[in-house]
């Protein structure tokens, strides 16, 4: 019996697991659940397997990941027995691949077709779900898995008058199975996303007239489709397992070495050459990853975007049409880019017209045409290529009611609250495959699907083996993962673009980054780590007992995590194991590899007299704006042992540009050659000298402040106290970034954050030992928190970082200043470490804190 005849092939109404969806996720679930010995039902609304490839039958529908990669890895034989006819296979070919797998592995009998899930209800007393179908079945199950796809619910038409049209109406995501013949017809196509871009050239081959209604032009690159190339086949044939394994540990799920070249660091000729090479490959991941910074740096992105626009202009003959087709309102890659075959060339055909909806909006659809701008045009057919209610649409379209009557739709009204994109609190035993919060649509779906199905099935087996029958994420874990996802979005260029990634295509949908931006590799590591750490963030109960290992899987800022991870892989020796000279050389060498920071107006080097009369080097950073400028005397970090007047240069330049103040960065004497109180007294001497020479230096008399980071924050704080106690200079403010304020006490953060966050407790001990004897550490020149009084100090901004060993002493200084009546701004940088805010051009999440620091500086001088 054929599956699409609507036959219910299975009838059990109480099973271990119900799965909604028989696309590639559902099929792999059949394999894993059956192999693991669970009883299960798969309910599928379509008439056959295939999911998205069952529904999306519009002309030109094909995948845009090279098809050899867009395949299952779990059955190695498939790679040998299935031959793809093209680099990017068409929908019918991919559908027959899904059917082949389902037949080969005898999956059809497990699937009930033409059966849509209507609602699902959790019962706390039986600890089971009841899943009801539109065909009237009610099935109870321990676990309910939605494998319903990310782009499976077409979004509702939001164009006036759609109901009026009496001609042919086609939705790309629900295309008639028998196909559509457009020969000789006048066709309107609304929408220029992937579906529009793939179908328009083929519709134009048949139709007598095609009018494309475009709201936002899309970046599209040629697929250069054809037979699967030898260089694509070779690595798979040479060592299939290694190839499949490497795919799992890439950002997008397709093996491709990540670029290590900045678009800003190469000559225009080199940039062009690299772009052309990426372009020729005809692969989305290639063109999205030509330069390491194109997805995070707007300037780098602009260079790539412009080169793509040049290609469009070179293809489309009519310059007005070409300009309309050039995306200019968002960075490349922040909306899903497309792969096409002859898309732009199609506009050179005389019977194809482009309408810009921004200048000629659709006023209404009539019974036989469309009224837009100031004209009405008659059409025989309208094709809606207007997209999907992506990622959450299919999930909330089923009425899912969890514990205490909460519906998922209600819970997610402001955005999908979930843990790892797999589960949601208050919805026990409910799993999503490639749900929001997982890399899903930003990855090769096959790789992501297999990872999710494996994770879920392995978890069910683990629970069964341990007598546990209920699993649910904790609130802390869920909130932590949602915050982590938002933090990733915050440092991406994607958050400002109106895309379906952000839910912006569906009116009223909350604006939240839906997929996880941390990559297939980063995400897999997080999921694996959750399991290795005893199902961190999950509570599991059952006859076997109760296990709850509450916690957050990624609590540092995403870019901080990446840097920490890279450093831990480098296996660097601890600085405290080096001599001071060795530590300085090491620190200078790593400093030389940093991005330099933004251009300032001028940099001038000089010397000034230190406390013992010997010369101290300084570097002056002058803003490009017209002077004179207010002046910040700056003291670098480095534990009084390492660093110099130029070692914090990227941050100093950044603060100079942002604040409009001039910075004088001073190379105070270092320990152990010059121990306490040399650095402290040099700090004050330098401040006094700069104040005395403020006019010659180009500063404004009376407009002077101090600033410093870490040990430099200590020097700055001491200088401010000495200025107060010695009748000047009168300071407008002090800015202390993660300062050392108290060497007499072990604050909890010193051990809590004492390892794994670059500045360690043992390194801090080494710094102190080099700088000051224990007996001296209670002196306020070493520990400014120990001053008899903090009253009368200038307005102060203290920045502390959540994962800094020095956090608590910074907090204590801010609190003590406030208690002493000083005006204090306390910036508490969540997810940051001691060094991260200073890492200009590397840690993007530090930028907003530096902006606040600059705002404080402007406030000092206002």
Residues of the chain by 3-state class (helix, strand, coil), percent to 5: 40, 20, 45
* Shortest spacing between CB 469 and ligand N01, in angstroms: 37
DSSP string, 532-589: HTTSTTEEEEETTEEEE----S--S-HHHHHHHHHHHHHTPPPGGGS-HHHHHHHHHH
Grouping H, G, I as helix, E, B as strand and the rest as coil, residue 705 is strand
Q: Helices 91-104 and 24-36, interaxial angle, to 10°?
A: 10
Distance (Å, rounded) from C-alpha 685 to C-alpha 700? 19
**Rounded alpha-carbon distances, angstroms, from residue 159 to 47, 185, 214, 743:** 30, 22, 13, 67
Q: Which is nearer to ligand N01, 117 or 441 (CB)?
A: 441
Cβ 324 vs Cβ 337: under 8 Å: no
Q: Which is nearer to ligand N01, 297 or 505 (CB)?
A: 505
Q: 780's torsion region: left (phi>0), alpha (psi -120 to 50) or beta?
A: alpha
* Shortest spacing between CB 217 and ligand N01, in angstroms: 8
* Shortest spacing between CB 117 and ligand N01, in angstroms: 22
Question: In angstroms, how far is the first alpha carbon of the chain from the final one?
Answer: 81
Q: Which is nearer to ligand N01, 194 or 836 (CB)?
A: 194
* Shortest spacing between CB 124 and ligand N01, in angstroms: 38
Q: Which is nearer to ligand N01, 198 or 665 (CB)?
A: 198
**Rounded alpha-carbon distances, angstroms, from residue 837 to 610, 843, 844, 847:** 29, 7, 9, 7
Count the neighbouring beta carbons within 10 Å of the beta carbon of residue 382.
23
Count the neighbouring beta carbons within 10 Å of the beta carbon of residue 388.
22
* Shortest spacing between CB 524 and ligand N01, in angstroms: 21
* Shortest spacing between CB 133 and ligand N01, in angstroms: 27
Q: Which is nearer to ligand N01, 161 or 591 (CB)?
A: 161
Distance (Å, rounded) from C-alpha 292 to C-alpha 570? 20
* Shortest spacing between CB 359 and ligand N01, in angstroms: 13
Distance (Å, rounded) from C-alpha 360 to C-alpha 374? 7
Q: Which is nearer to ligand N01, 445 or 793 (CB)?
A: 445
Distance (Å, rounded) from C-alpha 519 to C-alpha 557? 15
Q: Which is nearer to ligand N01, 158 or 585 (CB)?
A: 158
Distance (Å, rounded) from C-alpha 721 to C-alpha 726? 9
* Shortest spacing between CB 521 and ligand N01, in angstroms: 20
Q: Which is nearer to ligand N01, 216 or 286 (CB)?
A: 216
Cβ 416 vs Cβ 226: under 8 Å: no
Where on the chain is the footprint of ligand N01 (CB under 6 A)?
62-64, 151, 158-159, 172, 190-196, 198, 215-216, 336, 357, 385-388, 441, 500, 505
* Shortest spacing between CB 30 and ligand N01, in angstroms: 23
Q: Which is nearer to ligand N01, 64 or 293 (CB)?
A: 64
Q: Which is nearer to ligand N01, 210 or 560 (CB)?
A: 210
* Shortest spacing between CB 520 and ligand N01, in angstroms: 16
Count the neighbouring beta carbons within 10 Å of the beta carbon of residue 748.
11
Secondary element (H or E) of residue 189:
strand 186-190
Q: Which is nearer to ligand N01, 385 or 793 (CB)?
A: 385
* Shortest spacing between CB 95 and ligand N01, in angstroms: 13
Secondary element (H or E) of residue 201:
helix 194-206
Cβ 618 vs Cβ 605: under 8 Å: yes
């Amino acid at each position: 019996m054929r599956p699409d005849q609507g036959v219910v092939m299975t009838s059990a109404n109480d099973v271990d697991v119900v799965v909604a969806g028989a696309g590639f996720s559902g099929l792999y679930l059949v394999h894993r659940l059956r192999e693991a010995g669970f009883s299960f039902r798969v309910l599928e609304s379509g008439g056959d397997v295939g999911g998205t490839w069952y529904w999306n039958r519009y002309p030109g529908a094909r995948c845009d990941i090279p098809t050899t990669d867009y395949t299952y890895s779990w059955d190695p034989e498939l790679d040998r027995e299935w031959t793809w006819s093209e680099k990017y296979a068409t929908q019918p070919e991919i559908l027959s691949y899904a059917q082949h797998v389902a037949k080969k592995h005898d999956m059809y009998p497990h699937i009930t077709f033409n059966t849509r899930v209507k609602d699902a209800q959790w019962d706390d007393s039986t600890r089971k779900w009841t899943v009801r179908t539109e065909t009237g079945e009610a099935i109870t199950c321990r676990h309910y898995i939605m494998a319903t796809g990310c782009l499976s619910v077409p979004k509702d038409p939001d164009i006036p008058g759609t109901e009026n049209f009496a001609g042919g109406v086609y939705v790309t995501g629900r295309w008639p199975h028998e196909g559509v013949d457009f020969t000789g017809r006048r066709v309107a196509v609304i929408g220029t996303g992937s579906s529009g871009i793939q179908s328009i050239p083929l519709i134009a081959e048949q139709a007598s007239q095609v009018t494309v209604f475009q709201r936002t032009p899309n970046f599209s690159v040629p697929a250069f489709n054809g037979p699967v190339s030898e260089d694509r086949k070779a690595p798979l044939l040479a060592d299939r397992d290694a190839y499949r394994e490497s795919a799992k540990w890439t950002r997008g799920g397709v093996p491709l070495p990540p670029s290590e070249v900045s678009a800003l660091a190469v000559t225009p000729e080199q940039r062009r050459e690299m772009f052309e090479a990426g372009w020729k490959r005809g692969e989305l991941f290639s063109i999205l990853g030509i330069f390491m910074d194109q997805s995070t740096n707007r300037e780098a992105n602009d260079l790539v975007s412009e080169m793509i626009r040049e290609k469009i202009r070179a293809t489309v003959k009519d310059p007005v049409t070409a300009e309309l087709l050039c995306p200019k309102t968002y960075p490349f890659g922040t909306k899903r880019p497309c792969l096409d075959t002859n898309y732009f060339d199609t506009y050179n055909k005389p019977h194809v017209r482009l309408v810009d909806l921004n200048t000629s909006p659709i006023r209404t659809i009539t019974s036989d045409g469309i009224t837009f701008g100031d004209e009405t045009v008659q059409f025989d057919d309208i094709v809606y290529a207007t997209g999907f209610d992506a990622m959450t649409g299919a999930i909330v379209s089923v009425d899912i009611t969890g514990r205490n009557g909460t519906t998922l739709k209600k819970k997610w009204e402001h955005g999908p609250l979930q843990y790892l994109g797999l589960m949601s609190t208050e919805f026990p035993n409910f799993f999503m495959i490639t749900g929001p919060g997982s890399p899903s649509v930003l990855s090769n779906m096959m790789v992501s699907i297999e990872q999710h199905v494996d994770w879920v099935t392995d978890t069910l087996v683990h629970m069964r083996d341990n007598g546990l029958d209920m699993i649910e994420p904790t609130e802390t874990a869920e909130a932590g993962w949602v915050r982590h996802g938002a933090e990733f979005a915050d440092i991406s260029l994607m958050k400002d673009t109106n895309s379906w990634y952000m839910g912006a295509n569906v009116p009223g949908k909350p604006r939240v980054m839906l997929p996880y931006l941390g990559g297939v590799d980063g995400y897999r590591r997080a999921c694996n780590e959750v399991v290795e750490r005893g199902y961190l963030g999950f509570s599991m109960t059952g006859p076997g007992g109760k296990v709850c290992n509450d916690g957050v899987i990624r609590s540092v800022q995403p870019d901080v995590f990446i840097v920490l991870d890279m450093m831990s892989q480098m296996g660097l020796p601890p600085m405290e194991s080096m001599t001071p000279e060795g530590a300085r050389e090491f620190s200078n060498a790593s400093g030389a590899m940093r991005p330099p920071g933004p251009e300032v107006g001028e940099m001038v080097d000089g010397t000034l007299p230190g406390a013992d009369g010997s010369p101290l080097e300084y570097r002056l950073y002058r803003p490009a704006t017209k002077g004179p400028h207010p002046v910040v005397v700056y003291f670098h970090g480095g534990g009084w042992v390492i660093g110099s007047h130029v070692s914090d240069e990227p941050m100093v330049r950044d603060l100079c540009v942002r604040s409009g103040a001039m910075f004088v960065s001073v190379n105070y004497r270092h320990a152990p050659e010059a121990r306490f109180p040399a650095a402290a007294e040099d700090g004050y001497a330098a401040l006094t000298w700069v104040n005395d020479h403020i006019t010659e230096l180009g500063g404004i008399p009376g407009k002077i402040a101090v600033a410093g980071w870490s040990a430099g924050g200590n020097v700055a704080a001491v200088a401010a106290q000495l200025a107060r106690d010695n009748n000047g200079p009168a300071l407008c403010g002090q800015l202390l970034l993660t300062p050392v304020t108290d060497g007499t006490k072990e604050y909890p953060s010193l051990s809590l954050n004492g390892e794994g966050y670059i500045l360690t407790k043992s390194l801090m001990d080494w710094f102190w030992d080099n700088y000051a004897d224990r007996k001296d550490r209670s002196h306020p020149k070493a520990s400014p928190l120990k001053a008899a009084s903090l009253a009368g100090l200038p307005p102060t901004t203290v920045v502390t970082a959540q994962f800094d060993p020095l956090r608590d002493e910074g907090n204590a200084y801010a609190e003590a200043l406030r208690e002493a009546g000083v005006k204090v701004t306390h910036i508490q940088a969540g997810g940051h470490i001691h060094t991260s805010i200073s890492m200009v051009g590397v840690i993007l999440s530090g930028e907003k804190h530096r902006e606040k620091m600059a705002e404080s500086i402007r406030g000092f001088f206002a």
